[in-house]
Amino acid sequence: MVCTILLLLFFLITRSISQDIRSMLMSEIIDMKFECTSSNCSNPTNISISSLIDCQFACLAYIRCRATTFDQSVSQCELFDDISIQYGYLLVKIGVVTMIAIDDGQSSNG
């Protein structure tokens, strides 16, 4: 009986946690910085963060994030809101990693 209750509790906790986690596929572009050129773009959200993975997690935690750049030299992460990649371009910048969210429809083969 105790085992059944513990299993049920584990299932409920796991289910509630998985509903709070957002996942997406991100394309990683090394030594390139995303710049938005359109007036449709809002200013990126800048946060100080210690690692690339923390920058990725920050983007995942922010539901409107569609692209992010991480500058390793200054530990700076830029999060770009609901933008389309067609509104920007990539600049060569050593030590910067740009990650762009890939829409599920673009990544599927069917």
| Residue ranges of domains in the chain, CATH in brackets | 24-107 (3.50.4.10)
What average pLDDT does the structure give for the chain? 75
pLDDT band (50, 70, 90) for residue 104 = low
CA distance 49 to 11: 33
pLDDT value, residue 94: 95
Cα-flanking dihedrals φ and ψ of residue 72, to 5°?
-65, -30
pLDDT value, residue 30: 94
pLDDT for 22-73, tens place per residue? 566 788 999 999 887 777 777 889 999 999 999 988 988 888 888 899 999 9
pLDDT band (50, 70, 90) for residue 105 = very low
User: Which is nearest to 81 in space by CA: 106, 105, 59?
Assistant: 59
